[in-house]
Amino acid sequence: MIDRAGLADFLRRRRELLRPSDVGLPDGVRRRTPGLRRDEVAHLAGMSSDYYARLEQCRGPHPSEPIVTALARALRCDLDARDHLFHLAGLAPPARRAGRHIRPGLISLADRLTDVPVCICTDLHEVLWQNALADIVLGGRDRQAGRPLTWRWFTDPASRARVPEEDRPRLSAAAVSDLRATYARRAGEDDVVELVHELLRRSAEFRDLWERHEVAIRRFDHKRFVHPEVGLLHLTCEVLLTPEEDLKVLAFFPTEGTDAREKLDLLRVIGTQDFQTTV
């Protein structure tokens, strides 16, 4: 059962331990108490300020697993603290398997890369976190119930809309060869087997590429995106792997010799204005 008092106390204490700079926020000048404000935690976790406030006040609905997972990330919980948070919420902690938890230090690193699009994903390209500029350049956070990007690429034509048509065959082949490497490294694990079998069933393009048996982990790539506001963006994608190779940090830097830097700067301003308008 949920321990509402314990959950409220844990959330408040974790919030008070964090400084704004720990989560990539400005310190500001009007902070009467240490730590983060409730609305800041709510924003980081992707929920309403009212919902979060009710959790700290021992009231409101029973939080779901996605809500508790988002809170654990927002509050920079390590695995032990995350599991404790799940127990307080009356939920069984997720299994400690590959790619299911982002270490606080990894998010802190990504938070500091504010001028380039950054996302953190599993080895199956399930996006777990991305910054505001990635939302603007790569698209929002509607992930079709958490489906991996590779699944969307081969089953949903709309997922290719921001990529020039002439680049798509190369990116398809790279996605399959990368998945081949993960499939070999994690042979027999349910999630990777299920993904491959589902794609083999649904996509003829995927089947043709899978039968080539090409294997290559993507650590670097040149990508082009068509954005409705600024047009064509030339970006260089650097892929950083965790030691266990279960998580990937994708950082999209402006390609040298192009106007991508100026366009990214403009999109940061446009994105800020849009956010301020909707608040």
What SS3 class is residue 165? Answer: helix
108, 86 in Cβ contact below 8 A?
no
Bridge partners of 253, per DSSP, are: 236
Best-predicted range by mean pLDDT (35-39, 86-90, 128-132) = 86-90
pLDDT in tens, 131-179: 989 989 987 655 444 689 999 999 999 889 999 999 999 999 999 999 9
What pLDDT score does 72 carry?
Answer: 92
Average pLDDT over residues 115-122: 93
Q: How would residue 278 be classed by pLDDT, with cut points 50, 70 and 90?
A: very low
Is it the case that residue 245 has pLDDT exceeding 90?
A: no
What pLDDT score does 140 carry?
Answer: 66
Least reliable range by pLDDT among 71-85, 96-110, 123-137, 243-257: 96-110
pTM above 0.85, yes or no: no
What pLDDT score does 142 carry?
Answer: 54
Smallest Cα–Cα separation from 224: which of 251, 255, 250, 263?
255
What pLDDT score does 277 carry?
Answer: 33
User: Whole-angstrom Cα distance, residue 6 to residue 163?
Assistant: 47
What pLDDT score does 50 carry?
Answer: 94
What SS3 class is residue 206? Answer: helix
What pLDDT score does 33 carry?
Answer: 67
CB atoms under 10 Å from CB of 139, counted, come to: 16
User: Whole-angstrom Cα distance, residue 93 to residue 173?
Assistant: 36
Q: How would residue 232 be classed by pLDDT, with cut points 50, 70 and 90?
A: very high
What pLDDT score does 97 carry?
Answer: 62
Q: To 10 degrees, the CA torsion angle through 72, 77, 79, 83? A: -50
What's 158's DSSP letter?
Answer: G
What SS3 class is residue 19? Answer: coil
What pLDDT score does 275 carry?
Answer: 37
Q: Please count the CA atoms within 13 angstroms of the CA of 175 that sit on its side-chain side.
A: 25
What are the residues whose beta carbons fall under 8 Å from the beta carbon of 43, sequence distance 6 or more? 49
124, 179 in Cβ contact below 8 A?
yes
Pairing assessment for the beta strands 231-241 and 220-227 based on DSSP bridges:
antiparallel
Q: How would residue 24 be classed by pLDDT, with cut points 50, 70 and 90?
A: confident
Q: Please count the CA atoms within 13 angstroms of the CA of 235 that sit on its side-chain side.
A: 28
